[in-house]
Amino acid sequence: MSAFLPPHANFPSKAMRTLLIVVSAASLFGQTASKSRNPLVEKIVESIDAKRIEGSLEKLESFETRGNFSETEHPTRGIGAARRWIADQFRQAGPRLQVRFDAYKLKKQSRIFRDVELVNVVAVLPGVRFPERQVLISGHYDSLNLRDARRAPGGDPTPEEQERGAQLAAPGVSDDASGVAAAIELARVLAAHEFEKTLVFVAFAGEEIGLVGATLHAQKARAEKQVIEAVLNSDIIGTELSGDGRRINRAVRVFSADPQDSPSRQLARYIKEIGERYYPRMETHLIFRHDRFGRGGDHTAFDVEGFPAVRFTSAVENYAHQHSATDTLANASPEYVAHVSRIKAAVAASLALAPPSPVTTVQRTRFGETTTTANLGRGKSGYDALLNWKEAAPVPDLAGYAVVMRSTLAPFWEKEIFAGKATQLLIPGVDIDNYVFGVKAIDSDGNESMVATYSAPPPRARKVVAEP
């Protein structure tokens, strides 16, 4: 099937772009298809409870420290007690959640100053139609107090300083009990419903010693060829007051790695659109870099393995409290954690309800070499934009597809064209070299997939043999 637009000169005016969107979508929805709101997602967002989040933050602080080298058998102190409590919270969230410990025994290496067992806490809510497709909601539950353990600033901490730090108070409320509290609350709210795709809630260990728990999880997922559509990682979402006195409680930063149309970058665009659609009181500030300067987070472990992954973090930070005994509930904002959690709930639910993203690539062979390239051409005239795609999996309630496009210099999609159930779209008079294109799938409830882009493959070095 093909869908065609009337001829127009290059990129139409803003008025014409709006007209095309409305007219195309009105035939099916009576409104712009991709802007509809699913009542179920609205209900999920409204169900996030700031008081429950505050209770989780208070409990996680009560373990005194959740350092990776702290006690594992003590009933109320240390990382062992913390992970048992987190697992219990996941179990209480709903009977369909499958809760487990993923344990890894690690030898002394790099920032791991002695042998240790790291344990990720995982809760899985299986999907009913596409159970093999996963959406991860994560934070790290380990904490760190190096500020009080260090005897001299600068350089790497010594093993003695690390050992001393393992015994000091490290409440880690904002970094990162806030991300774990969000994951626990989302598990409670989302487990009350069924979703097309599998939702996975993870409290990672080992973040403070090199993203170890997340790295092991991501490497295992890649080795097992798991399909992870998105990793929504929260790290430091408990702070609304910065160290210099600024207060920002109506915005959150989302970091995503280059290049401009990487899977992680496209996930970030999806978060901004869906988050602000369902929870407009909060702005999503997209930061187009992998993380803050000189800092790291668990999302990076997934990004380097090729999975779409982003980091949610507060719009402002108080560096004086991080990795210290003052990272407490008194210096955090449970209400702000709830604001960010509502954005994450909207995004996670929308993704888990939505069809899979269309397939926009094709295998092509030239001069005996087979490559994967964008299924994008210039049409019969040689001067049009011809987009082809196919469904990733059968979707009985598919409403259709929407093609998006933007200038190569624009950060966000500028134009949207609803193509119905066609799997091809011809846009006359548009030069494919001047724009970035993508396509998304939309179901009958208005749930939309992430955009699958038509990206030009980077040039590769060629081996040329010449006579000496």
Beginning with the edge strand found earlier in the chain, give each strand of the sheet holding 424-427 in spatial order: 3-4, 424-427, 385-388, 376-377
Instruction: Examine residue 379 and state whether it is found in any structural domain, yes or no.
Output: yes
Separation of alpha carbons 419 and 421, rounded Å: 6
DSSP per-residue codes, 271-340: HHHHHHHH-TTSEEEEE-SSSSTT---THHHHHTTT--EEEEEESS--TTTTTSTT-SGGGS-HHHHHHH
Q: Does residue 23 have a pLDDT over 50?
A: no
Number of domains making up the chain = 2
Owning domain of residue 448:
3-31+356-454
| Whether 292 and 384 share a structural domain | no
Distance of CA 12 to CAs 94, 96, 434, Å?
51, 50, 14
Instruction: Examine residue 54 and state whether it is found in any structural domain, yes or no.
Output: yes
Q: 259-288: per-residue pLDDT in tens? A: 999 999 999 999 999 999 999 999 999 999
State which amino acid sits at residue 234: S
3-state secondary structure of 411: coil
Q: 371-390: per-residue pLDDT in tens? A: 778 899 999 999 999 999 99
Instruction: Examine residue 459 and state whether it is found in any structural domain, yes or no.
Output: no
Structure tokens at 316: 């402002």
With tokens 């966000």, the residue in question is 412
Helix (H) / strand (E) element for 79: namely helix 79-93
| Whether 381 and 400 share a structural domain | yes
Contact 288, 256 (CB under 8 A): yes
With tokens 């990672």, the residue in question is 204
| Whether 281 and 174 share a structural domain | yes
| Whether 51 and 83 share a structural domain | yes
| CATH code of 138's domain | 3.40.630.10
Q: Which letter does DSSP use for residue 448 in this model?
A: B
Separation of alpha carbons 320 and 341, rounded Å: 25
| CATH code of 396's domain | 2.60.40.10
Model confidence band, residue 458 (pLDDT cutoffs 50, 70, 90)? confident
Beginning with the edge strand found earlier in the chain, give each strand of the sheet holding 452-454 in spatial order: 415-420, 398-407, 435-443, 452-454
Q: 385-431: per-residue pLDDT in tens? A: 999 999 999 999 999 999 999 999 999 999 999 999 999 999 999 99
Q: Is the pTM of this model over 0.85?
A: yes
Domain boundary among 353, 371, 400: 353
In this structure, of 332-346, 355-369, 454-468, the range with the lowest mean pLDDT score is 454-468
| Whether 58 and 173 share a structural domain | yes
| Whether 280 and 388 share a structural domain | no
Domain boundary among 300, 324, 353: 353
Number of H helices, E strands in the chain: 10, 18
Instruction: Examine residue 447 and state whether it is found in any structural domain, yes or no.
Output: yes
| Whether 18 and 52 share a structural domain | no
Task: Report the pLDDT averaged over residues 18-30.
Answer: 33
**How much is the pLDDT for 11?**
38
State which amino acid sits at residue 211: L
Structure tokens at 213: 């728990």
CA atoms within 13 A on the CB side of 341: 31
Instruction: Examine residue 238 and state whether it is found in any structural domain, yes or no.
Output: yes
